[in-house]
């Protein structure tokens, strides 16, 4: 997909239908694997009512609601982005699809390599310090490359893509270090619910942040037409957008106070943190305001608010929970001051009893059949999860020439399935099929994905916007009426609604699969001792992200002719890509069906399950962490609609350069995650998140503002900045997810993991809605960006500035996240519960889900895409 239709330079390309057809392959493969080879033992399932009672109890635990609050607030800020990146790559740099995807594959290599290094060397790093450092690094790297591109300092797509690839290194750290907590929180039986609840809080923040930065960017003139002007005003507009984005990302570090520093802290917080019914209800009803949390925190009877070194010396609390003073001192020295556990033989036995494995069973061998079968699922998910988003730039931005806010809506809808993880987690926990909780849902998810990809593969895809290579990038006013009638497909931007919706359903399918796999992963991860816990989480993320290099390379090299904004003479049609996606579906189905290990269970009554789930949601440890995920992620994922048009119009980023630098970013991301798993598992979560949020904004601003203002007019410099962001990204991702394992209990693993991740995932479309709305007030459509004058550059700058401010603001909610795993365990045990907070969280997440679906679908239809809430400039 790299001919002129997709913004590339090839003479050939296949249609989008082909891509959707390819997507059927991994779906079918996964179905076969899950059906034939996946092993799962039957278990006795708790009664539905009892399950939800336990879940509500868990939600009231401080370890749960504090970590949920951290995920919500921190991720809302760190997800605050900008809408101008894609337009900049397309219009300022002319990034070709083959370059885009090639660098994306390099980014995946860097990302997975970093994750591997984290899993080997950084598992015991202080979560706070790691997140802080890599957040700052992400901002610095991104700012260097993007601002250089905005201001025309370097007008090279490979420079731009290099920056994007480098971002994968810090991104891997952030991803792993914000997810390690999940294993620590979960208990036997509630792994799915805990994982879902915590990740939901993080995921729901992303759409909230997207809505915020789209709303902010709408006030700036950063449309594609503006960016194409490439004048000083437009460059200033782009600079403002990026500055706002970096500021918001750095503010996400504020909420790092809610994240425990390491696994041991989570366990301490889980055991002695108490519970709060009020906070549980507040987390369920509303998570967008921190004032209620402040009023709740002033009451603090027999509860722990934020555990730092001084509070960990509160011997009264620890003695009440049967933890000797000397153990506490050992814990403090191990988790706060050192990267490894250096306790004496005298304390070893007591310490392991208190903070050893969270469930019985042997530590999983990565090379066993059951491990390979489960990792295959993550491979297939990584293939699908990287392919569909990778099509945004070459196909929807360049090939169809959609507006920036429409491309942002597509990206949000493709990721929308992650917001429904809580429902999939509950289904697998509470409604086993044929006596099995996991494998049937894994196979069902791949079937849904495969069917969606098959339909897209065999449905004719629209002709490209530009039908002639010499016309690519020219404003309509500069194209004769005859050439417009003959070579310009004005209906192309409005012809993608079916494929957007089917892509959304495909994502729902593989999210159902990955949610179920997450529940199994929690069970395996909880078998690991405290010093090693996080290795399996790191491995599953590493495998998932590393696999994403393959589709990035396919999209980059095969969709890079002039149709896709590239320079190749050939390209494949989109239909081919959709067809290729059937391969991983098929492989995953086979592995799940024949080699996946699972024991049969006896089904719990649904009333008991939901009673326990509601009890978990009421726990402070649950609703606080969900609130963090929702609020933090909403602000952090606040972006801007101008990024894709800026890339396409100002830089002319080619797809091949874009994907090559993406691969670099993946390599950096995985290497960072590997390093985190090896060295940084015990890092302070707060400090790490703060550092990496600030770093993300700094890096992003350093590259985007110069790009907007023509200081950097080179796509390679711009992409290099994007690569650098992967380093802090890895830290933020991991350090906001580690808490999930700490929160989950036995029997509700799927629901817990799904609920937390749903709070995080739903924030992405909410953030998309916000930044689309904000950006709609600015003149930053494609026609505006094409003018490339100072007015447009100022509009783009405003959008990016608002985005950075929103991302930095996500740090305000870091107070909801425990500092480390021990803090989560203390909070889980002594944080109490709160029915109002539980209701609050559920209501807000439900409201966000409905809202983001409606607002993002509105952007896909001609009659409604002009609305402000859809990201348009107003009807």
pLDDT attached to residue 523? 81
Which one, of 690, 678, 692, 824, lies nearest residue 182 by Cα?
Answer: 824
What six digits make up the tokens of 258? Answer: 């809610």
Three-state secondary structure string covering 824-855: HHHHHHHEEECHHHHHHHHHHHHHHHHHHHHH
Mean pLDDT on 305-313: 36
pLDDT attached to residue 290? 33
**Phi-psi region at 478: left, alpha or beta (left = phi > 0; alpha = psi -120 to 50):** alpha
- What is the distance between the alpha carbons of residues 45 and 40, in angstroms, rounded to a whole number? 14
Which one, of 749, 431, 425, lies nearest residue 603 by Cα?
Answer: 431
DSSP 725-765: THHHHHHHHHHEEETHHHH-BBT-HHHHHHHHHHHHHHHHH
Q: Give backbone dihedrals phi and psi of 60, rounded to 5 degrees, phi first.
A: -80, -15
H/E stretch holding 43: strand 40-44
Given a contact cutoff of 8 angstroms between Cβ atoms, the answer to whether 15 and 461 are in contact is yes
pLDDT attached to residue 312? 35
SS3 301: coil
What six digits make up the tokens of 527? Answer: 């078998």
pLDDT attached to residue 746? 66
The larger pLDDT score, comparing residue 465 to residue 871, is at 465
pLDDT attached to residue 354? 47
pLDDT class of 43 with cuts at 50, 70, 90? low
The larger pLDDT score, comparing residue 797 to residue 22, is at 797
pLDDT tens digit sequence for 60-80: 888 888 888 888 888 888 888
- What is the distance between the alpha carbons of residues 826 and 759, in angstroms, rounded to a whole number? 22
What six digits make up the tokens of 861? Answer: 């239809």
- What is the distance between the alpha carbons of residues 422 and 526, in angstroms, rounded to a whole number? 20
Q: Is the pLDDT of residue 91 over 70?
A: yes
Strand partners for 19: 575
Which one, of 619, 603, 494, lies nearest residue 187 by Cα?
Answer: 619
Antiparallel, parallel or unpaired: β 683-684 and 638-642: unpaired
Scan for tokens 């039908």, then name that residue: 467
DSSP 805-828: HHHHHGGGGGGGS-SSHHHHHHHH
**Phi-psi region at 41: left, alpha or beta (left = phi > 0; alpha = psi -120 to 50):** beta
Q: In the chain, pLDDT over 70 holds for what percent of residues?
A: 86
Mean pLDDT on 160-187: 84
Antiparallel, parallel or unpaired: β 13-14 and 572-573: parallel
* Other beta carbons less than 10 A from residue 353's beta carbon: 9
Those residues whose C-beta lies under 8 Å from the C-beta of residue 115, and which sit 6 or more positions away, are 172, 175, 176, 538, 541, 542, 545, 546, 669, 670, 671, 672, 673, 674, 676, 677, 730
- What is the distance between the alpha carbons of residues 749 and 726, in angstroms, rounded to a whole number? 29
pLDDT attached to residue 871? 57
**Phi-psi region at 15: left, alpha or beta (left = phi > 0; alpha = psi -120 to 50):** beta
What distances in angstroms separate CA 764 from CA 67, 315, 410, 756, one per listed residue?
Answer: 18, 41, 12, 14
Q: Is the pLDDT of residue 337 over 50?
A: no
- Is the Cα torsion angle 657, 660, 662, 667 positive or negative in sign? negative
* Other beta carbons less than 10 A from residue 297's beta carbon: 17
The larger pLDDT score, comparing residue 321 to residue 439, is at 439
Q: Is the pLDDT of residue 776 over 50?
A: yes
For the entire predicted model, the pTM comes to 0.55
Given a contact cutoff of 8 angstroms between Cβ atoms, the answer to whether 620 and 279 are in contact is yes
- What is the distance between the alpha carbons of residues 753 and 493, in angstroms, rounded to a whole number? 37
What six digits make up the tokens of 482? Answer: 């005859």
pLDDT attached to residue 454? 93
Range in 16-25, 44-53, 106-115, 714-723 the model is least confident about:
44-53
Looking at mean pLDDT, say which of 264-278, 423-437, 669-683, 791-805 comes out highest: 791-805
Looking at mean pLDDT, say which of 87-101, 505-519, 548-562 comes out highest: 505-519
- What is the distance between the alpha carbons of residues 195 and 747, in angstroms, rounded to a whole number? 12
pLDDT class of 321 with cuts at 50, 70, 90? very low
pLDDT tens digit sequence for 777-817: 888 888 888 888 888 889 899 999 999 999 999 998 888 88
Strand partners for 674: 118, 119
pLDDT class of 330 with cuts at 50, 70, 90? very low
Looking at mean pLDDT, say which of 129-143, 828-842, 855-869 comes out highest: 129-143
Given a contact cutoff of 8 angstroms between Cβ atoms, the answer to whether 671 and 170 are in contact is no
* Other beta carbons less than 10 A from residue 369's beta carbon: 16
pLDDT attached to residue 272? 82
pLDDT attached to residue 579? 93
pLDDT attached to residue 581? 93
pLDDT attached to residue 320? 38
Average pLDDT, whole number, for the chain? 79
Which one, of 158, 788, 722, lies nearest residue 473 by Cα?
Answer: 788
pLDDT attached to residue 589? 92
pLDDT attached to residue 324? 36
pLDDT class of 413 with cuts at 50, 70, 90? confident
SS3 279: helix
Helices 62-78 & 232-250 angle (0-180, nearest 10): 170
SS3 789: coil
Determine the longest span between alpha carbons in the chain, in angstroms: 87
């Amino acid at each position: 997909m790299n001919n002129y239709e997709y913004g590339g330079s090839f003479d050939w390309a296949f249609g989008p239908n082909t891509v959707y057809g390819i997507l059927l392959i991994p779906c079918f493969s996964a179905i076969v694997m899950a059906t034939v080879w996946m092993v799962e033992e039957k278990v006795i399932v708790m009664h539905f009512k009892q399950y939800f009672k336990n879940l509500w109890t868990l939600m009231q635990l401080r370890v749960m609601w504090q970590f949920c609050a951290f995920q919500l607030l921190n991720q809302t800020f760190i997800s605050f982005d900008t809408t101008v990146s894609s337009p900049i790559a397309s219009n300022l740099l002319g990034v070709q699809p083959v370059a885009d995807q090639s660098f994306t594959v390099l980014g995946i290599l860097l990302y997975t390599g970093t994750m591997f290094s984290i899993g080997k060397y950084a598992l015991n790093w202080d979560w706070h310090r790691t997140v802080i450092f890599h957040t700052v690094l992400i901002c610095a790297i991104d700012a260097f490359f993007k601002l250089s591109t905005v201001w025309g300092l370097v007008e090279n797509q490979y420079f731009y893509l290099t920056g994007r690839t480098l971002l994968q290194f810090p991104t891997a750290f952030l991803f792993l270090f914000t997810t390690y907590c999940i294993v620590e929180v979960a208990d036997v039986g509630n792994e799915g619910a805990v994982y879902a609840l915590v990740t939901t809080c993080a995921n729901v923040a992303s759409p909230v942040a997207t809505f915020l930065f789209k709303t902010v960017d709408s006030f700036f003139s950063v449309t594609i037409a503006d960016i194409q002007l490439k004048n000083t005003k437009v460059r200033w507009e782009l600079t403002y957008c990026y500055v706002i984005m970096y500021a918001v990302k750095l503010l996400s570090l504020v909420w790092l106070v809610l994240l425990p520093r390491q696994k041991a802290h989570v366990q301490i917080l889980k055991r002695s943190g108490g519970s709060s019914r009020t906070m549980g209800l507040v987390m369920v009803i509303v998570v967008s305001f921190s004032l209620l949390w402040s009023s709740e925190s002033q009451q603090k009877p027999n509860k722990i608010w934020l555990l730092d070194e001084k509070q960990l010396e509160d011997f009264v609390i620890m003695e009440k929970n049967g933890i000797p003073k000397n153990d506490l001192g050992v814990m403090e020295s191990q988790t706060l001051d050192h990267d490894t556990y250096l306790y004496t033989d005298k304390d070893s036995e007591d310490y392991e009893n208190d903070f050893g494995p969270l469930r019985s069973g042997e530590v999983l061998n990565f090379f066993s059949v059951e491990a390979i079968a489960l990792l295959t699922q993550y491979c297939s998910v990584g293939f699908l999860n990287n392919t569909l988003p990778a099509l945004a730039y070459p196909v929807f931005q360049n090939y169809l020439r959609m507006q920036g806010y429409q491309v942002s809506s597509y990206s949000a809808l493709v990721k929308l399935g992650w917001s429904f993880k809580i429902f999939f987690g509950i289904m697998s926990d509470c409604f086993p099929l044929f006596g099995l909780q996991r494998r049937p849902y894994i196979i069902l998810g791949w079937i849904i994905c495969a069917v969606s990809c098959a339909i897209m593969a065999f449905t004719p895809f629209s002709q490209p916007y530009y039908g002639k290579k010499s016309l690519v990038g020219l404003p309509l006013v500069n194209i004769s009426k005859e050439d417009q009638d003959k070579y310009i497909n004005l209906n192309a931007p409005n012809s993608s609604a079916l494929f957007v919706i089917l892509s959304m359903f495909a994502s729902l399918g593989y999210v159902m699969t990955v949610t179920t796999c997450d529940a199994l992963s929690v069970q395996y991860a909880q078998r690991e001792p405290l010093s090693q816990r996080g290795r399996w989480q790191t491995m599953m993320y590493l495998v998932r992200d590393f696999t994403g290099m393959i589709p990035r390379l396919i999209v980059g090299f095969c969709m890079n002719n002039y149709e896709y904004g590239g320079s190749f003479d050939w390209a494949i049609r989109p239909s081919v890509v959709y067809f290729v996606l059937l391969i991983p579906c098929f492989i995953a189905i086979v592995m799940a069906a024949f080699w996946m290990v699972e024991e049969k269970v006896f089904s719990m009554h649904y009333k008991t399950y939901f009673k326990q789930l509601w009890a978990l949601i009421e726990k402070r440890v649950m609703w606080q962490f969900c609130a963090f995920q929702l609020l933090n992620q909403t602000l952090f994922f606040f972006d801007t609609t101008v990024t894709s048009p800026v890339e396409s119009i100002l830089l002319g980023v080619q797809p091949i350069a874009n994907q090559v630098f993406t691969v670099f970013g993946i390599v950096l991301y995985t290497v960072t995650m590997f390093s985190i798993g090896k060295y940084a598992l015990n890092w302070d979560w707060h400090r790490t998140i703060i550092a990496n949020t600030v770093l993300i904004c700094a890096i992003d601003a350093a590259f985007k503002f110069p790009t907007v203002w023509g200081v950097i007019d080179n796509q390679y410099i711009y992409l290099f900045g994007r690569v650098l962001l992967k380093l802090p990204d890895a830290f933020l991702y991991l350090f906001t997810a580690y808490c999930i394992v700490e929160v989950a209990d036995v029997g509700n693993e799927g629901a817990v993991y799904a609920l937390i991740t749903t709070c995080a995932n739903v924030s992405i479309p909410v953030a998309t809605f916000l930044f689309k709305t904000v950006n709609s007030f600015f003149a930053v459509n494609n026609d505006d960006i094409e003018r490339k004058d100072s007015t447009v550059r100022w509009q783009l700058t405003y959008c990016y500035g608002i985005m950075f401010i929103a991302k930095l603001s996500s740090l305000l909610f870091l107070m909801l996240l425990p500092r480390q795993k021990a803090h989560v365990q203390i909070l889980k045990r002594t944080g109490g519960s709160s029915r109002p907070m539980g209701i609050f969280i559920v209501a807000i997440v439900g409201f966000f889900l409905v809202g983001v679906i409606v607002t993002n679908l509105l952007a896909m239809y001609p009659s409604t895409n002009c609305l402000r809430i859809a990201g348009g400039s107003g009807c």
